[in-house]
Amino acid sequence: MKKGFQLSSEVLERAVAIRRAIHQNPELGYQEHKTAALIAGRLREIGIEVIEGVGKTGVVGVIRGGLPGKVAAVRADIDALPLEEATGLPFSSRNPGVSHMCGHDMHTAMLLGLAEVLFGLRAKIRGTVKLIFQPAEECNPTGGAPAMIAGGALENPHVDAVFAQHLWPELETGAAAVRNGSMMAASDRFFITIHGRTAHGSAPEEGIDAILCAAQVISALQSIVSREVGPRDSAVVTVGTIQGGDRYNVIAGEVKLEGTVRTLRPEIQGPMASRIERIVSGVCAALGASYTYEYVKGYPATVNDPALFEIVYGAMKDVVGEKALVPELCALTAEDFAFFTEQRPCVYYWLGCRNPQTPFSKTPPLHNTAFSPQEEAMPFGMEIMLRSVLRFLGSEDCLG
């Protein structure tokens, strides 16, 4: 496959303009009506077959190649986050309290740019490309992927492989990373309510202190990873919220804890629910408290197919050279693209978007109100995806 960029400046300019339009008008999961209309309208302008309302607010485009072959799908997430933007960009969010602080606006725009290029090459393409614009990626624990799968996004025609990318500010613009096997973690949630008995703060012996009990539960939960998970396996148990108490001089009668569990392998994920409850039950029994407990499984682990890993890594080397990376460790963040990986061979990679002159320690991360990826990353993402899809379809000769 010929090295060098195949994207025209006109395609990139249109993609950047679309990115800014979506960025200014962010919508939360399953509310992406204007975003979906913009996507469908642009696909029709290009001349692409469009299916709307897939998985509620999802959109699917279909590019049928001129020659028979396999079916590749490319997925982009389209929803925003419930965050107030603080980037100061001239095209900042016009929707108070909602913003694209995870880069989904850029993911969508890159896929629309890719769609334009692929449509222009369709006569030479062996097979079909499906363009999956997915809602509600941020809506853990269900996400929007299961609804799109149930809505037929992977059928008619039957999809053989699915590709996806995500902006990654830890990497500088012009770099990309992909890993064989686990790329991101499974994400579960737990809810614990500790029931004690209120009393005056001056007479703690008359009550059962739910805050004291909660503190010991939080501390003891850390022993799960340090003593029950092998050092060569990755896992995280995090208590993210704690709510309890009514007044400074009253023994708290109730405390609520909410947290997340991140794991990479089903063998580690499976026993986590019972391990947490065992600790909660033991601490509460020791201190005379009672509890209620709920464990909710969320996104599974995102696992890359070995053959597709090789395809994407080869495309990365063509596009970014020595900045094509294979990380030793995956991230314990989670992605509902994982539901696609349970249905078909898939590959998911990270695209650098940080100014090379700025260290990551000074760069706002994902889900930060000041997150502002470089638009200069977009041609790298589109080019890597273009080459990956064509290589999978055996249509490398489409490129000049």
Cite the active site residues: 299, 375
Which residues, 6 or more positions from 101, have their beta carbon under 8 angstroms from its beta carbon? 80, 81, 83, 85, 366, 367, 368, 369, 371
Looking only at the bridges linking them, the beta strands covering 324-325 and 176-177 are parallel
Tokens of 61: 């485009």
How big is the chain, counted in residues? 400
- Count other C-beta atoms under 10 Å from residue 198's C-beta: 18
Tokens of 190: 């737990």
Tokens of 296: 């909710």
DSSP 3-state percent helix, strand, coil across the chain (nearest 5): 35, 30, 35
- Partner residues linked to 244 by β-bridges: 255
Question: How many angstroms from the chain centroid is the CA of residue 280?
Answer: 30
Tokens of 29: 């999961």
Alpha carbons within 13 A on the beta-carbon side of 367: 3
Determine the 3-state secondary structure of 56 from DSSP. coil
Do the beta carbons of residue 263 and residue 185 sit within 8 Å? yes
Residue matched to tokens 């941020």:
138
Do the beta carbons of residue 70 and residue 392 sit within 8 Å? yes
End-to-end CA distance of the chain: 9
Which residues, 6 or more positions from 368, have their beta carbon under 8 angstroms from its beta carbon? 101
